[in-house]
Each structure stands twice: as structure tokens, then as C-alpha cells.
Chains A and B, each alone.
Chain A
Amino acid sequence: MLVYVVKRFFMTILVLLLVITFLSLLVHIVPGDPASAILGPRATPALIQKVRSAMDLDKPFYYQVGNMVLNLLHGSLGTDIITGQPISRFVFSVLPHTLILAITSLSLAVLIGIPMGVFSATHPDSWMDHLMAIISISFTTIPSYVAGLFLLLIFAVQLHTLPAMGLGKAGDTIDYIRHLILPSIALAITWIGYLARLVRTSLLEVLNEPYVRTSRSEGLSEGLIRYKYALKNALIPTIAVLGVGLGSLMGGAVFIEIIFSRPGMGLLIYNAIQIRNYPMVRSGVLIVSFLFILTNFIADLIYTFLDPRIQLNKGQS
């Protein structure tokens, strides 16, 4: 077990280094000079040179990667070339809002999706099961930005019941929560459908296992078998997926943050792209990817812990 954890840890570090390398390399692979792209056609050569050296573009490639890693180890993301402020200040002022959005959405998906799946699996082929199937398939196929726009249209534009823009008044928790409702539902919809289907399949699978039949033959109550013994095993794949979920919800938050003008990593990266502030884009993408890798790693560990059979299979592949 420990060997697997250590191995997985080093793999994670390696992937992280490759991600940093890739993001630094990107500037070089792609045609065109990012410094002149930032400054526009009227920039003087001297100014372009200045920005190039601020971005480390005049240094060799390995220097850039090394510098970025060293900076990261010191908790720095470098300096913003436009404002001269540390990039980390921008990133960490909006990161909590994206995390709160992603975690709220994931909690919504768990609270709604899992009961839907359990209900379907315990009433297979009933009309409710078919209804749930149609709802969950439709939910998984609605893109989050379409869901966001529809919610905005219904609750903010037509009914005026919920606020749609921004974070709410500073320091007002109730207002913050009210501003969180629509974005988090929009982001959660795909995952509600996905979890409902996943839980239904895995619970049905477990309910057909021999040990469930044995428990039935021993006269244990159906409720005890379903909710205590079967559900526990059926939820293992779901937990593995939740780690991926948190990461992918942080990525999906880009759309939602833009639609609802909600400060966060997505909006930060999007705005930086608009003014071609590439170092800012790179740092934003790096932080989101870092969290994505981290949640995957943690989910993997929890998964191995819950189901020790996994590591053997994983170790081989």
C-alpha cells in the first residue's frame, strides 16, 4: 500500500513538472511573439524588448521552467507585466470564490444525484425509473452554459426572484448565498444526471452479487441489505469519480463565472485572454490544473483505501 502511495505521489509530481514545462513551452511552439501580441502593432522595439525580458522570453527555455518551479516553491507566480503587482495576489483573491462554487455544485450533485440513482436502482423498470432515466440523460447532455443561460433567463430576467450578477454585497453572507444559488445549480446539472446514472448502474450490479442473495436468504431486511451493505460498496466508484468531478467543475466554472459575472479563476483567465496577458493566463491555468491534479491524487488515495483490490490493477496499467 505504502509503495503504491509513494509511487503515485512521485507520478503526481512528475505530471506537475510536465504541466509547468508544457505551459512554458507553449509560448515557443506557437507562432508569433507574445510580447508584441500584448503590446499591439504600435509598440516600439525597445518596449517589446522590455516586456520580453520581463516575461523571461529572452532566456533559454530550461531557465524559464526552472525559474517558474523555483518561484512556485517560494509561493510566487511571478509579477504581472501590466500592473506590476504579484500575480498571486490576483489569483488568491478570486480562487476562494471558484472553490466555493465548485464545492457547492458538487454537494448539490451528491445530494440530488445519489438519491435519484438509489431510487432508480431499488425500483428497476418502474415508471419512476424510466422517468428518472429520461431526466438524468437529459441533465448529462445539457451543456453547463446552456443551463446557466436558461436559469438566468427564467429566474433573473423573467421572474426577478434571484440575483444573477456578481457576488452580492461585501460581507453580507445571506446575499452571497443568494448569488451562489443559480450559478451552482447551473454547474451541478450535468453532474446530477451523471451521478444518478452511475449510482443506479453500480447499485444494480452490487444488488445482483452472491453476497446480497446470501443475506436475503438469511432473512435480513431488504432495507438493511440495500442501504447498509449494498450501498456502501456501490458508492466506491462514485467516490473515485467525485475527485475528478471537483477538478472538472473548476474547469467548467469558466462559463458559469462569465455568464453570471462572478469573480473567480474562470473570469480571471478569460479577462486575461481578452487583453492577451499571457503570463496571467498561464498562472491561472497552472493553478486550476494543479488543483485538478491534487483532487485526482486524493481521490485515488481514498479509493485505494476504500477498496484495496484496486492498487494491484492500477499498478499494472
Chain B
Amino acid sequence: MQYIEKPVHPFNRILDHVPILGDVIRQPLGAIGFIIVLAFIICVIFAPLIAPYDYSRQDIPNRLAGPSAQYWLGTDHIGRDIFSRLVYGSRIAFGTALPSVAIALTIGTLLGLIAGYLGNKVDNIIVVLMDSLQAFPSIMLSLAILALLGPSLVNVIIVIGLTWMPNYARVIRAQTLSIREKTYIESERSIGATDGSILLSHILPNVIAPALLLAAMDLPWVITFEAGLSFLGMGVRPPTPSWGVILSDGYAHIFESQWPIIWSGVTLALTTLGFTLFGEALRDVLDPRVSGTRGL
């Protein structure tokens, strides 16, 4: 009898060629997350092509209009197209989240490596400093700093980077502590490798994976955090179309039109949901031992 090959859906064949992403998409929730994240990234890259209008174009006679063929999601209080503003807003969300997570990751990794590798007094000092940074509720710490620095995009990035940094320092430190004692590190040291080269070429590659995963999981939280600060008027300033600014404009006119709040709220919640589903599926693929709980 001739062997008949089981038919494989062409889509699955494609997935086989993408190592990690393929496994993520195979999970239903991971696939939903992937679609949302993809849509988000497409908006970030192609914002001018997708948005039908400029984000600051005003059409006063049609202010606070509901959804229509002309303005798909309606207009805000000075007649700006909500859809276009939301599309451009993805750029602000991404442009804040990425650098601030990068700052947190870089400084956190550096401090975590130093604390874990050197140990003793240095370790104690860094741990106590991280503890006291985490002793503030993150929103309070950010408000205290922004109250002095004044609201701006760059300040928000710095503040978020600083607030999120201790998490990374902790993760990297714990990993470094366990790897420091391994035999291959000791043998490196015995052949005269410097601390710097051991840290960079032997410890860092072994400890960075969990921190990178944490960064992926943190992106949606940083996006909502930025929007929250902008909602309070402490982040990105109008007329820049941050989702938080759109939400705050909508709040000011809540009795006249609900559409700005509804659309920007839904966009924020969906983006966070998408990134979270994608991040959790990614984590399940990379580290199957951990099941569905998110650490604080």
C-alpha cells in the first residue's frame, strides 16, 4: 500500500519555518494577541497612509460628531478626526514605551549584574536602593518627579524608565547570583579572565533572556502608564495625539459626546489585551514551566 502523506494545511507549513512565532500563533489566544500587536505595529509604521486626515486638521462645523462615512469614528471637540488621531497616537504610545523600557532594561541589567556578581556591600547597597525605589507606588514616584521636571515626552520616558528599572535589576541579580558560582565561571577566572569580560561574554548572555521577556510583558503596562500620565496632563501635551490626551479631551466634553472616550478607551484596552495575550503565549513557549500568572 502506498503511504499517503497526511495533508498539512499550508498555513501550518509556513508556521513550521518560523521557530518561536509559529508556536505562539498556534495557540488561539496567542494568535489573537499577535493580530492585535501586528495591527498596532502597522499603524505605527504606516500612520500617514492609514489615517484619512491629518491628526490636527480641524473641522469646526462638524465638531463632536458621531461615526459617519466621512469621519469613521466621529470627531472630537474641535472637529478633529478621532480615527486619524488614534492611528497617529499609536506612534506616541510606541515611541514612549520602547525607549522607556529600553532605559529600564539597560540600567536595570547593569545594576543587577554588578550587584549579583560583586555581592557583599555593593549588593546590599543596590538592593536597598532598589527596595526604596519600589517603596513608592509607581504612579506616585512619577508624579513627584514630573511635578518638578514639568510634563513632556522626554521627561515621561525618563520617569517611566526609572520607575520600571528595579524590576529588571532584581531579575538579573537573581540570575547572576545562581550563575556566578558555576564551574565554568570559576575556570574562566582561573585562566585570568577579567571581571568585565566574564560579565559581558559569559554571564550576560545567560541571564538576559528572562529580562527580555519581562520587557515584552511590560510594554503594554508602560503604554497604559504613559496614557494615564497624559490623561492627567502630566505626560505628552496637547495637540500631540497621545491616547491619554484624546481620553482627557473626551472627559472634558463627556456630556456632549461619548465617542472620544469610547474609542480611545477601547483602543487602549485592546492594545493592552493584545500585548498581554501575545506576551503570555510567548512566555509559555519560551518557558513552559511557568503557567499563567503574572508576577507583580
Contact = CB atoms under 8 A, between A and B. Distances in A.
Interface of A: 11, 14-16, 18-19, 22-23, 26-27, 30-32, 34, 37, 137-138, 140-143, 145-146, 149-150, 152-153, 157-158, 194, 197-198, 200-202, 241, 244, 247-248, 250-252, 254-255, 258-259, 269-270, 272-273, 276, 278, 281-282, 285, 288-289, 292-293, 296, 317
Interface stretch (B42-50, B58-66, B227-235): B227-235
B245 to A, nearest CB: 13
Given A269-B143, A292-B135, A137 B277 contact: yes
Contacts of B41: none
A254 B148 contact: no
Contact of B247 (A14, A34, A145, A247): A145
B27 interface: no
A299 to B, nearest CB: 12
A61 to B, nearest CB: 15
Given A254-B143, A289-B137, A241 B296 contact: yes
Contacts of A149: 247, 250-251, 254, 261, 265
B20 interface: no
Interface residues of B, number: 48
Interface stretch (B74-82, B88-96, B183-191, B286-294): B286-294
A157 to B, nearest CB: 6
B149 interface: yes
Interface of A, helix, strand, loop or mixed by DSSP: helix
A149 B228 CA distance: 12
Interface in B125-143: 128-129, 131-133, 135-141, 143
B84 interface: no
Contacts of B272: 141-143
Contacts of A19: 132, 135-136
Interface string B138-155: 111101111111000000
B171 to A, nearest CB: 12
Contacts of B234: 273
A248 to B, nearest CB: 6
A269 B146 CA distance: 12
